[in-house]
């Protein structure tokens, strides 16, 4: 029946082409690859399902003509359909040609190469046949686990991770038993190749997994060393979430006529994400960040920094300002990272600050805002970063902080991502207070509509009857309380001050200043500052009572507001001071 299958495959491919023509260019790419594969390796033609629910997202594994034992393993793992990178990657790797596969994190790249290498491994031979390079110990173990699960029913196939930090003699012992598939970090693999504890003579396939991350971690030379050890005839497969230049250089140097697969996931398009940028100086970034957090009040936010140090610093700063924030980066232990992720996922932490590498694999749906505290080094990372918001059809927001020339980088990003990032003014503290009030009022409307308020209305009525307060006074006081007094005082301080009954002389108001005798300040300094800043004649200043750490000054009531406004940014003897109405006695 193979001939029949083959023909059906062609027929379906044509049909498919017609069907998806207007949907996705990527798919045409897929077709060309498929056609190439089909020509190259006569069999392994993909056999599509008759009912075309969606295009290639719905390829089932049993349509890939795989070894039934592998299919069983896949089934046990609970995979129903191949992901796009698997649907394209599996036949490509099976063809024996070199392959470059690019797809976002979490799209199943491991199985995309794991399944075909298992398919081609010879279980009766104990020679090393497949080497997989992996950037970290965790990832190496993860990949080994996944391949072992896939190979669950393939007796005689041995899979072993080798990585730095683990006792090498233990690894050597394990290797002696004969391991067909080795997953290792570049440094440790190099070590074993030098010691001849891994013999590369029968290696058919080498896989560079998470290639971008390996290069980020400075493994380029080690990777090249490992590649130099391999026999002339072998297949080189490379998978990566992004394809920066250095990777393309490696592929050019070590691959021949590679099949190029690139999956651009729909989610990665940035259509439903509002994107803004702010021109911010480095030292002002944290203030702008907190302003935006206050203004938009996102449920979960992801903040990206370019260095681990910045991640730590920012997490510390934000916590100091009362935000619930945690950092995530590669220097942290796995248990720590797991804890941080768990807290973020269940909302215990609202703000996660991360580097690009650490953010790999973060898959949280409710992220409402992504902040590029630092602009990403690679344009492509921008898409990956902001793709963390606006999931599942929700609308997300992305904010980028740029300074000076970085605006040009932003232009590149816009061109690359075919998107628009709008300049936006930083919200003022008034804006923040206003939006808070609006949000509270929204909640209030819901309460009025949905709750039974009779009993509380009684309480308010009594209060109004027994005091001089109006309903308006009481409502205002509640709003004030709900907004948190500090927010309002900054927003309101411009205009209205409340001069309490302080026992000041008739017609005068009493003001408080936070400097006193201990600051080596004399009454004359204060008088001079007030007269100088406000333009009110010095002779109008009334009593000045100095204490060790503070001072009370009386000024004519009609000048009270003016003096306070004028003194806001004033200094006395080089010291910034704070002046406000004195509390009532
Ligand atoms: P990537 O390397 O692209 O970041 P992984 O290979 O680590 O992604 O896969 C991410 C997760 O998806 C893993 O838990 C994996 O078991 C799971 N997965 C892979 N392929 C499928 C599939 N076809 N169906 C369901 N889950 C899958
Ligand atoms: Mg991976």
Q: pLDDT, tens digit, for every residue of 56-96?
A: 445 889 888 899 999 999 999 888 788 889 999 999 999 99
What residue's CA is closest to ligand 1, atom 22? Answer: 79
pLDDT of residue 229 exceeding 60, the answer is yes
**Average per-residue pLDDT for the chain:** 83
Instruction: Provide the percentage of residues in the chain whose pLDDT is more than 70.
Output: 85
Per-residue pLDDT at 3: 42
Q: Report the separation in Å between the CA atom of 51 and the middle of ligand 1, taken as the mean of its atom positions.
A: 25
CA of 157 to the centre of ligand 1 (A): 21
Six-digit token string for 350: 């609202």
Question: Best substitution site from 83, 87, 88, 108 to test ligand 1's pocket, by max atoms within 8 Å of Cβ?
Answer: 108
pLDDT value of position 270: 65
- Cβ–ligand 1 distance for 263 under 6 Å, the answer no
The yes-or-no verdict on residue 40 having pLDDT over 60 is: no
The predicted structure's pLDDT at residue 271: 66
520 CA from centroid of ligand 1 (Å): 69
Tell me the residue ranges of DSSP E strands in 306-437: 325-328, 351-354, 367-372, 396-402, 422-423
**pLDDT exceeds 80 at position 52:** no
CA distance 288 to 426: 7
Q: What is the pLDDT of residues 193-227, one digit of tens each?
A: 999 999 999 999 999 999 999 998 899 999 999 99
Q: Does 108 contact ligand 1 (Cβ within 6 A)?
A: yes
Place of tokens 């190749």: 193
pLDDT tens by residue, 522-574: 888 898 888 888 878 888 899 999 988 889 999 998 888 888 888 887 888 88
More confident residue, 238 or 11: 238
Distance (Å, whole) CA 317 – CA 283: 12
Q: Is the pTM of this model over 0.75?
A: no
For ligand 1, say whether the CB of 88 is within 6 Å of any of its atoms: no
Mean pLDDT of 245-250: 92
Distance 177 CA to ligand 1 centre (A): 29
Query: In whole angstroms, what is the distance from residue 400 CA to residue 113 CA?
Result: 36
Nearest to 107 by CA among 190, 35, 228, 210: 210
Nearest CA to ligand 1 atom 24: 79
For the chain, counts of helices (H) and of strands (E): 22, 20
Would you state the pLDDT for residue 234? 96
Spatial CB neighbours of 470, under 8 Å, sequence gap ≥ 6: 464
Query: What spacing in Å lies between the alpha carbon of 143 and ligand 1's midpoint?
Result: 10
pLDDT of 253 > 60? The answer is: yes
Banded model confidence at residue 585, pLDDT cuts 50, 70, 90? low
Does the C-beta of 330 come closer than 6 Å to ligand 1? no
Of 40-44, 204-208, 489-493, which one has max mean pLDDT? 204-208
Best residue among 62, 78, 84, 110 to mutate for probing ligand 1's pocket (most ligand atoms within 8 Å of CB) is 110
Task: Kindly identify the ligand whose nearest atom is closest to the C-alpha of 211.
Answer: 2
Q: Which residue, judged by its Cα, is nearest atom 2 of ligand 1?
A: 109
Per-residue confidence (pLDDT) for residue 337, from 0 to 100:
86
SS3 of 299-330 = CEEEEECCCHHHHHHHHHHHHHCCCCEEEECC
276 Cβ closer than 6 Å to some ligand 1 atom: no
Q: Nearest to residue 89, comparing CAs of 106, 112, 111?
A: 112
Determine the distance separating the centroid of ligand 1 and the alpha carbon of 110, expressed in angstroms. 7
- Mean of pLDDT values over 363-368: 80
Minimum-distance ligand 1 atom for the alpha carbon of 105 = 4
Task: Name the helix (H) or strand (E) containing 130.
Answer: strand 130-133
Split at pLDDT 50, 70, 90, the class of 496 is: low
What mean pLDDT do residues 272-290 have? 90
For the residues 305-324, what does the mean pLDDT come to? 91
Give residue-wise pLDDT tens across range 380-422.
788 888 877 766 556 789 999 998 888 888 888 888 777 889 9
| Residue 230, pLDDT above cutoff 70 | yes
Could you report the per-residue pLDDT of 500-513, keeping only the tens digit for each?
A: 777 788 889 999 99
Residue carrying structure tokens 């996705």: 24
Residue located nearest, by CA, to atom 15 of ligand 1: 108
What confidence category does residue 361 fall into, taking pLDDT thresholds of 50, 70 and 90? low
Mean pLDDT of 221-239: 95
Q: Whose CA is nearest to atom 10 of ligand 1?
A: 106
Q: Which ligand is nearest to the CA of 209?
A: 2
> Helix, strand, or coil here: 360?
coil
Ligand nearest to the CA of 103: 1
Q: What is the pLDDT of residues 112-149, one digit of tens each?
A: 999 999 999 999 999 999 999 999 998 999 999 999 99
Q: Is the CB of 82 under 6 A from ligand 1?
A: yes
Of the pLDDT bands very low, low, confident and very high (cuts 50, 70, 90), residue 26 is very low
- Atom number in ligand 1 closest to CA 79: 24
């Amino acid at each position: 029946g193979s001939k029949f299958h083959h023909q059906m495959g062609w027929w379906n491919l044509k049909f498919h082409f017609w069907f998806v023509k207007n949907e996705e260019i990527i798919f045409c790419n897929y077709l060309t690859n498929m056609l190439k594969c089909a020509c190259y390796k006569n069999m392994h033609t993909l056999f599509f399902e008759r009912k075309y629910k969606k295009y290639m997202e719905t390829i089932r594994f049993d349509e890939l003509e795989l070894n039934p034992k592998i299919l069983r393993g896949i089934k046990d793992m609970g995979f129903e359909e191949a992901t796009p990178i698997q649907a394209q990657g599996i036949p490509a790797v099976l063809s024996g040609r070199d392959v470059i596969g690019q797809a976002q994190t979490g799209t199943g790249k491991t199985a995309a190469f794991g399944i075909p290498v298992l398919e081609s491994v010879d279980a009766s031979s104990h020679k090393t046949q497949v080497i997989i390079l992996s950037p970290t110990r965790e990832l190496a173990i993860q990949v080994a686990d996944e391949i072992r699960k896939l190979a669950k029913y393939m007796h005689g196939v041995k899979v072993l991770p080798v990585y730095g930090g683990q006792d090498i003699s233990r690894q050597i012992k394990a290797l002696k038993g004969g391991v067909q598939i080795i997953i290792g970090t570049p440094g440790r693999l190099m070590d074993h190749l030098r010691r001849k504890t891994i013999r590369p003579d029968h290696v058919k396939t080498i896989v560079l997994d998470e290639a971008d991350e390996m290069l980020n971690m400075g493994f380029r030379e080690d990777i090249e060393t490992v590649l130099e050890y391999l026999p002339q005839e072998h297949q080189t497969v490379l998978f990566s979430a992004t394809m920066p230049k250095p990777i393309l250089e490696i592929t050019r140097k070590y691959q021949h006529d590679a099949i190029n697969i690139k999956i651009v996931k729909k989610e990665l398009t940035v259509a439903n994400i509002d994107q803004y940028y702010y021109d911010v100086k480095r030292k002002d970034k944290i203030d702008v960040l907190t302003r935006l957090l206050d203004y938009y009040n996102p449920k979960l936010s992801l903040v990206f920094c370019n260095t681990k140090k910045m991640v730590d610093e920012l997490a510390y700063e934000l916590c100091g300002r009362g935000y619930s924030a945690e950092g995530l980066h590669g220097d942290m232990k796995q248990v720590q990272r797991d804890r941080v992720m768990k807290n973020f996922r269940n909302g215990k932490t609202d703000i996660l600050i991360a580097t690009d590498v650490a953010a790999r694999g973060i898959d949280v749906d409710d992220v409402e805002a992504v902040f590029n505290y630092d602009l990403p080094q690679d344009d492509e990372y921008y898409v990956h970063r902001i793709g963390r918001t606006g999931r599942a059809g929700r609308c997300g927001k992305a904010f980028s902080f740029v300074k000076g020339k970085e605006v040009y980088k932003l232009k590149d990003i816009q061109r690359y991502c075919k998107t628009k990032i709008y300049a936006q003014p930083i919200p003022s503290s008034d804006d923040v207070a206003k939006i808070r009030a609006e949000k509270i009022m929204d909640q209030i409307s819901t309460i009025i509509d949905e709750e039974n308020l009779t009993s509380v209305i009684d309480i308010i009525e009594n209060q109004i009857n027994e005091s001089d307060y109006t309903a308006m006074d009481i409502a205002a006081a509640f709003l004030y309380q709900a907004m948190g007094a500090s927010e309002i005082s900054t927003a309101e301080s411009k205009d209205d001050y409340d001069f309490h009954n302080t026992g000041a002389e008739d017609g005068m108001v009493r003001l408080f200043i936070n400097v006193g005798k201990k600051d080596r300040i004399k009454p004359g300094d204060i008088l001079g500052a007030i007269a100088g800043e406000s333009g009110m004649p010095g002779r109008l200043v009334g009593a000045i009572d100095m204490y060790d750490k503070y001072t009370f000054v009386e000024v004519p009531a009609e000048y009270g507001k003016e003096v306070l406004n004028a003194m806001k940014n004033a200094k006395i003897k080089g010291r910034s001071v704070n002046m406000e109405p004195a509390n009532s006695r």
